[in-house]
Amino acid sequence: MVILMDRLDTPSGQRAVARCTELGRAPYSDMEGGLFRPYLGPSYRATCERLAQWMEQAGMATRMDAAGNLVGRYEGLVPDAPAVLLGSHIDSVRDGGFYDGMLGVILGIETVAHFAHAGKRFPFALEVIGFGDEEGSRFPTGMLTSHAVAGVPQDPDPAMADWAGEATLASALAEFGLDAGHMHRAARRRDGILAYVEAHIEQGPALEAADRALGVVSAIAAQQRYRITLRGMAGHAGTVAMALRRDALAGAADIILAAERIGRAGTDGLVATVGSLDVVPGAANVVPGEVVLSLDVRAGSNAGRDQAVADILQAARHTCAQRGLEMDITLQQDLDATPCDGRLTELMEQAVGSVTGAPAPVLVSGAGHDAMIMAHLAPVSMLFIRCAGGISHNPAESVTPADTDAAFRALITFIGLLERHSG
């Protein structure tokens, strides 16, 4: 389907899809033939400039905060009124889809544009935020910039290198005229934010299976992410006897299977994933001497996640003892289960029901979102949008203009309900 941008001169879900599509190629991607938009990279700069143009056309004043987040503000009936914050993240994984994160930012802009076009203002301001780093797509940490906005201590190391080894956090921020030592200045005051609202593709198949366009998120699953380093002894593949080997990769295989076994046996939405594996020296004729693997564990509760982590790491220690391996474990991300605000959830359910003519499905998100961090600052609400096959973090990621337009209208309705129920 071809969407002609010059015909999309009014806010809509169709225009949101078209804009996401526009941002899926150069100069808005650092990758040939696919989408990769790392935090503070060249494509990030180009994307922020384009988003700022759309924000300004929608009647917003724009700025980049001290953490590199893009913020647009549409004033309320009185200056400096507290804000309802709409948004999601700008960055993408390598070879990702067009809609993960970005659709929430664009829908925020479209929502504000709708009210600006109608000349409507509220007792509160409306702000749209595009978070710079949710995915951990460039530096070895995720949700870096929402931590800064929420004022949640994280103390990132300015000297930490990006995945390519080409820049540090400090040098990347400096390219944007920002100072790594001042990231905390992005923190917002609690009395300045009434709510944070994030629209996002579901990243799962539940809505599609139920033949529903939209769902409302009641909570976001607990998550922990680890970097595990196994050290054995490298040796010649033809001369080191099997019984004498300290093969780090074989040990990693045992741990991966243990994580899968424990994840499958769990309840409470438990999932366990090893998604990356670095093998040293990585030669066909050498017994691997070192392996670095990731471990990502999520569940609907902190207790369920923590028990699974304990079981997997115990299995890993047993494997290392049997195989004569050394193991280092580094916790890289620790996110508590996050309930969405009950009052806002009810209003979002009403909005979805009004737009779709049916009760809103209520879901728990297994994926992490900036809303998890923003919940430390303000009440949060999340709206899910059906995606084809539940596919995300993949070029095949897809939404329909009709579903996205339903989300657009639900956000408009939600803001109206929030006005009637505020104060």
CA pair distance 119, 117, nearest whole angstrom = 6
Query: Could you tell me which of 320, 243, 226 has the C-alpha nearest to residue 287?
Result: 243
190 labeled binding residue = no
393 marked ligand binding residue: yes
Instruction: Give the tokens for residue 237.
Output: 């593949």
Q: Give CA–CA dist 283/186, Å, rounded.
A: 46
100 labelled binding-site residue: yes
Environment class of 270 (CB within 10 Å of its CB; exposed 0-12, middle 13-18, buried 19+): buried
Tokens of 390: 């539940």
Phi, psi of 386 (to 5 degrees): -55, 135
Q: What's the rounded Cα separation, in Å, for the pair 140 and 382?
A: 26
Residue 245 labeled ligand binder = no
393: left (phi over 0), alpha (psi -120 to 50) or beta: left
Beta carbons within 8 Å of 135's beta carbon, 6+ residues apart: 89, 91, 92, 93, 101, 142
Is 394 annotated to bind ligand? no
DSSP state letters, 198-266: EEEE-SSSHHHHTT-SEEEEEEE-EEEEEEEEEE---EETTTS-GGG---HHHHHHHHHHHHHHHHHH-
376 is in an annotated binding site: no
Nearest to 249 by CA among 213, 287, 300: 287
Give the integer Cα–Cα distance in Å for 368 and 383: 14
Q: Is 211 left (phi over 0), alpha (psi -120 to 50) or beta?
A: left
Task: Give the distance between the most distant pair of CA atoms in the chain.
Answer: 78
Residue 200 is assigned to a ligand binding site: yes
Residues near 60 by beta carbon (within 8 Å), at least 6 away in sequence:
72, 73, 74, 109, 112, 116, 127, 128
Residue 135 is assigned to a ligand binding site: yes
Q: How far apart are CA 163 and CA 137, in angstroms?
A: 8
| Cβ atoms of 142 and 130 closer than 8 Å | no
Which is nearest to 86 in space by CA: 127, 51, 57? 127
Residues at the binding site for Zn(2+) are 89, 100, 135, 200, 393
Binding site for allantoate: what residues are annotated?
Answer: 225, 285, 298
Binding-site residues, in ranges, read 89, 100, 135, 200, 225, 285, 298, 393
